[in-house]
Amino acid sequence: MAIPILDVQRLTVDFTTRKGIVRAIDAVSLHVTKGETLGIVGESGSGKSVTSYAVMKILDRAGKITNGKITYSGMSLHKIAESDMRDIRGREISMIFQNPRAALNPIRKIGKQVADVLIQHNQATKADAREKAIEMLKAVKIADAEQRFHAYPFELSGGMCQRIVIAIALACRPQLLIADEPTTGLDVTTQKAVMDLIVELTARFNMSTILITHDLGLAAAYCDRLMVMEKGRVVEQNASTVLFQSPQKDYTKQLLRATPRRDSNVRDLLPEAMHGKADPLPQSIPPGPPVLTVSHLKMGFGKPGSENYHLAVRDLSFTIRQGESLGLVGESGCGKSTTSAMVMRLLDVTDGHIEFLGQDIASIPASQFASHPLRGKLQMVFQDPTDSLNPRWSAERSIEDPLKNLSKGLGKTERKARVVELAGLVGLPTHLLDRFPHQLSGGQKARVGIARAVALDPQLLILDEPTAALDVSVQAIVLNLLEDLKHRLGMSYLFISHDLNVVRLLCDRIIVMQQGKIVEEGDARTIMDHPETDYTRSLLAAIPHPPARETHTDSGALA
């Protein structure tokens, strides 16, 4: 076996917090050999990021390495001085973070930022830094690198920014690249482009990579070896192909199940123990009369006729019937969020009609819709469960809010009873009701958000990427909850997402949007199997899939 370039032995990191000392990672051992890509996979709180921070020695003040050894090409990183470590960071080991915009200095030209790193590590002099920086920008496939040298981060898209971050990380030809969720928050097609770029460059420079991700599909597609972490411990470590074919530990199996595959249905995502208990998927009932009819919807930003007038949504028409789920899919900037805001009556339309339960609601100004009788029938589940809850309000108060405002007939005790009933409906333990959002887990917050949305028995629920901010196992549970609620409460869904794979789990029909227009529309199955347009095909091709698993004996539910 080759000598590992990075060797971590029994690494333990403790954090000092208000509640005492918390062990973030416990006796984690890993190694990376030259040219290899190691994937660290785990859900939030598993310690995967802390592991990489400890290797880079960028833990914050509360965190301390209490035990273990980190050896990087013969050097003991756990022992060396901060001044030497500063030399190693960037030149020997580099890191890419999740949010590229936050990683770049917003008021410095991107080319200068690349040049800075080169000068810092004596890889370039003032004279040739510019030239070398442009070369690096070209290497990460920035078109017009000479011109873009002078661009500021805000002028670039998220994918472009991530390329710049990669350029900075690789500028000094480090031996090891640590990529911490490098594509979270990017569209699938951008994700593919960025990941392909990382793979291409690391192969060209013969570098090793550690890819930290929560997405098993992504890890499977790009890593040689995988390490699964849970609660600060290593669960399992194996070559990717082996791990996917024959996972040894229960946690790995559960994680693999929860990652949506092309052929899985929403029940398959649940852990085996719950899978047996869950009710079989209800037969889809034939859709009833139309609930929502959108016709020739348009939305323009800026002054009409002026140069920066921009049509975010152009001539959009679709119908949702009672009990039906419609998926609205597209990349960021395609106008899907604008559409949802207009349908939700949070945004006034430029032109067009929105007919909801027989009434044209597009003509009602957004500011007056709050007190409209139809408000309660048209609700929404937001993308980020943390951001969508008032940080100063307890879960109970958040769920109660719509009842208080829109169900005038209810008294205080009736409202409390209804909140408890709703908590039961979404599976939120009632003793959590008096907690604040920051005291709840992501899944619990999502449940609070859903309870609030269904409090008034809505007819149509808009789901705006309701699981994008959640771990896969929580996503599995939330998706199942949404599926069950739909049948129990007879709601229709408009599911907005960039991830076709998740959308098709819940939706009967799918609309694919690009630049404010519908490019393809049809039955979910048909679109997934026989996409008609190139755009849909590219969306589908970009989704990283975990390799198909040999079907287990217990997959009776699928048949």
Rule CB under 8 A: which residues touch another protein? 18-19, 344, 346, 367, 370-371, 375-376, 379-380, 382-384, 387-392, 398, 401-402, 405-406, 430-432, 434-436, 438-439, 449, 452-453
Question: CB of 467: closest distance to another protein in angstroms?
Answer: 15
C-alpha–C-alpha distance, residues 14 and 118, integer Å: 34
Q: By three-state DSSP, how is residue 7 classified?
A: strand
Question: CB of 510: closest distance to another protein in angstroms?
Answer: 25
DSSP-assigned letter for residue 19: T
Closer residue to another protein in complex, CB, 120/386: 386
Closer residue to another protein in complex, CB, 392/412: 392
Question: Would you call 551 exposed, middle or buried from its count of C-beta atoms within 10 A (0-12, 13-18, 19+)?
Answer: exposed
Would you state the structure tokens that stand for residue 108, as one six-digit string? 């410095």
Question: CB of 371: closest distance to another protein in angstroms?
Answer: 6
Q: Beta-carbon neighbour count of residue 480 at 10 Å?
A: 22
Closer residue to another protein in complex, CB, 255/485: 485
Question: CB of 260: closest distance to another protein in angstroms?
Answer: 25
Q: CA nearest 243: which of 547, 26, 31? A: 547
Closer residue to another protein in complex, CB, 387/529: 387
- In angstroms, the Cα distances linking 551 to 246, 274, 505 are 11, 19, 19
Question: CB of 102: closest distance to another protein in angstroms?
Answer: 16
Question: CB of 403: closest distance to another protein in angstroms?
Answer: 9
Question: According to DSSP H, which parts of 495-533 are helical?
Answer: 500-506, 524-529
Q: By three-state DSSP, how is residue 453 classified?
A: helix
Q: CA nearest 251: which of 237, 238, 235, 275? A: 235
C-alpha–C-alpha distance, residues 295 and 344, integer Å: 15
Which residues make Cβ contacts (< 8 Å) with residue 180, sequence separation at least 6? 49, 52, 95, 96, 97, 98, 212
Closer residue to another protein in complex, CB, 135/384: 384
Closer residue to another protein in complex, CB, 63/174: 63
Closer residue to another protein in complex, CB, 396/508: 396
Question: CB of 431: closest distance to another protein in angstroms?
Answer: 4
Which residues make Cβ contacts (< 8 Å) with residue 167, sequence separation at least 6? 114, 133, 136, 137, 139, 140, 142
Q: Provide the terminal-to-terminal Cα distance of the chain, rounded to the nearest Å.
A: 44
Closer residue to another protein in complex, CB, 246/439: 439
Question: CB of 439: closest distance to another protein in angstroms?
Answer: 6
